[in-house]
Chain A
Amino acid sequence: MSQSPKRPPPPAHVVQEARRRFLRSLLLGGAAVGAAMAGWLPMARGAAARLRPPGAIDETDFLAACIKCGQCVQVCPVEAIVLGDIGEGFGIGVPHLDGRAQACDFSCDAVQCILACPTGALTHELSKKEEVRMGLARLDKPDACLARQGLGFKGQARGTDFPGLHRYEKVDRWNPIRIADHPYDLDLCDLCVRECPIDGAIALVPLSTDAADKRRTPEIRQSCVGCGMCEMICPVEPAAIVIDARAQWRPA
Chain B
Amino acid sequence: MSLIHSLAIMLGREPAKPRPEDYSPEAKALHQAKRACKMTPEQREEINRQTHEAHKVHTWRNRRWLTLLVVNLLFVASYRFDVQLIEGALTASRVIGFHFADLNSALQVTLAFKTILINLVIGTTTVLILWWLLGGRSFCSWVCPYHLLAEWAEALHLKLAAKKLVKDHQLHRRTRVVLYVIFALSALASGYTVFETISPTGILSRAMIYGPSWALTIVVFLLVLEVFYSRRLWCRYMCPIGITYAVVGAVSPVRVAYLPQDCHHEGECRKVCLVPHVLDVTKKGFATRMHSGIGADCTRCGLCVDVCPTGSLKFEVKGLDKLL
Contacts and interface: CB of A to CB of B under 8 A. Distances in A.
A29 B178 contact: yes
Contacts of B106: 67
Interface string B75-103: 00011000000011101111000010100
A5 B196 CA distance: 46
A161 to B, nearest CB: 20
Contact of B202 (A40, A68, A73, A116): A68
B210 interface: yes
Contact of A86 (B174, B209, B214): B214
Contacts of B113: 61, 64-65, 119
Contacts of B91: 67-69, 93
Given A37-B194, A120-B117, A21 B89 contact: no
A70 B196 CA distance: 14
Nearest to A87: B214
Contact of B213 (A25, A29, A85, A118): A85
Interface of B: 16, 78-79, 87-89, 91-94, 99, 101, 105-106, 109, 112-115, 117, 119-120, 123, 169-172, 174-175, 178-179, 182-183, 186, 190-198, 202-203, 206, 209-210, 213-215, 217-218, 230, 233, 237-238
Given A36-B183, A74-B87, A83 B193 contact: no
Nearest to B234: A32
B126 to A, nearest CB: 12
B143 to A, nearest CB: 15
Contact of A37 (B112, B186, B193, B230): B186
A177 interface: no
Nearest to A62: B113
Contacts of A71: 87-88, 92-94
A22 B178 CA distance: 13
B94 A118 contact: yes
Nearest to B192: A90
Contacts of B109: 64-67, 119
Interface of A: 1, 21-22, 24-25, 28-29, 32-33, 35-40, 43, 60-61, 63-71, 73-75, 82-83, 85-87, 89-90, 92-93, 116, 118-120
Given A33-B179, A38-B197, A82-B210, 19 more contacts: A29-B238, A32-B179, A33-B182, A39-B198, A61-B191, A64-B192, A67-B120, A68-B105, A68-B206, A69-B88, A69-B93, A69-B105, A74-B88, A83-B210, A86-B213, A86-B215, A93-B91, A93-B203, A118-B119
Nearest to B79: A74
A90 B197 contact: yes
Contacts of A43: 192
A118 B120 contact: yes
A70 B88 contact: yes
Contacts of A64: 109, 112-114, 191-193
Contacts of B179: 29, 32-33
B21 to A, nearest CB: 14
Contact of B89 (A24, A36, A38, A70): A70
Contact of B191 (A24, A60, A68, A120): A60
A28 B171 CA distance: 9
12 contacts: A33-B183, A40-B190, A61-B191, A65-B115, A67-B105, A68-B92, A69-B91, A69-B105, A73-B79, A83-B210, A86-B218, A118-B119
Contacts of A70: 88-89, 206, 209-210
Contacts of B182: 33
A95 B46 CA distance: 60
Contacts of B197: 35-36, 38-39, 86, 89-90, 92
Given A37-B186, A71-B94, A90 B237 contact: no
B103 to A, nearest CB: 12
Nearest to B173: A25
B16 A1 contact: yes
Given A40-B190, A65-B109, A29 B175 contact: yes
A83 B196 CA distance: 13
B218 to A, nearest CB: 7
Contacts of A82: 210
A32 B236 CA distance: 14
A23 B113 CA distance: 34
Contacts of B217: 86
A68 B210 contact: no
Nearest to A17: B170
6 tightest Cβ-Cβ pairs between the two chains A and B: A39-B197, A64-B112, A69-B92, A86-B215, A90-B192, A64-B113
Given A64-B112, A83-B210, A119-B109, A92 B196 contact: yes
B172 A25 contact: yes
